[in-house]
């Protein structure tokens, strides 16, 4: 029987490339997490918006999201505000971003007078670019007589 040495004669060469498999695995896991989490990050506000065939967001870089719920509550972004606090915040935002677009989301159940009053507040604060948010598609709801 012949026994050999267990030692190597030459030293191993240093590895010259990066193993990409763990990096790709981490990237794919993050991608799956973002795909699952993206719909959850949307607004939890449920509004019955009017429908329009021409409903498409404009190319505005700076916009302010304002919503009126059927109960008459004002939501500026994610913040629920009363009428006085909303008017103050609109003035502050108009001073910081005078060219910002106000994107107004109003439920169908909100009276027109309340929407018109809100438009007046925005214009008196200095926000003159106002866009109405609507859902895409033809309106099939019956019109009141």
> What pLDDT was estimated at residue 47?
58
Distance of CA 45 to CAs 26, 62, 68, 108, 112, Å? 33, 21, 10, 14, 20
Summarised one tens digit per residue, pLDDT across range 72-114 is: 889 888 889 898 999 999 999 889 888 888 888 888 888 888 8
Q: What is the pTM of this model?
A: 0.54
Please answer whether residues 74 and 86 qualify as being in contact, where contact means their C-beta atoms are separated by less than 8 angstroms. Answer: yes
Q: DSSP assignment of 38-93, as one string? A: HHHHS--------EETT------SSEEEEEE-TT--EEETTEEE-HHHHHHHHHHH
Q: Which domains does the chain carry?
A: 62-136 (3.30.420.270)
Quote the pLDDT of residue 78. 84
Q: Which residue has the higher pLDDT, 82 or 140?
A: 82
Contact between 60 and 101 under an 8 Å Cβ cutoff? The reply is: yes
Tell me the pLDDT band of 129, cut-offs 50, 70 and 90: confident
């Amino acid at each position: 029987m012949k026994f050999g040495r267990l030692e190597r004669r030459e030293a191993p060469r240093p590895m010259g490339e990066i193993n990409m498999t763990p990096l790709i695995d981490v990237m794919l896991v993050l991608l799956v997490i973002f795909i699952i989490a993206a719909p959850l990050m949307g607004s939890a506000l449920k509004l019955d918006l009017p429908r329009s065939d021409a409903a498409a967001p404009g190319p505005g870089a700076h916009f302010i999201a304002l919503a009126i719920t059927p109960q008459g509550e004002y939501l500026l972004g994610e913040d629920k505000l009363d009428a006085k606090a909303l008017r103050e915040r609109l003035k502050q935002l108009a001073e910081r971003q005078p060219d910002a677009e106000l994107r107004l989301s109003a439920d169908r159940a909100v009276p027109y007078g309340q929407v018109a009053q809100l438009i007046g507040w925005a214009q008196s604060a200095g926000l003159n670019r106002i866009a109405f948010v609507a859902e895409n598609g033809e309106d099939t709801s019956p019109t009141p007589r």
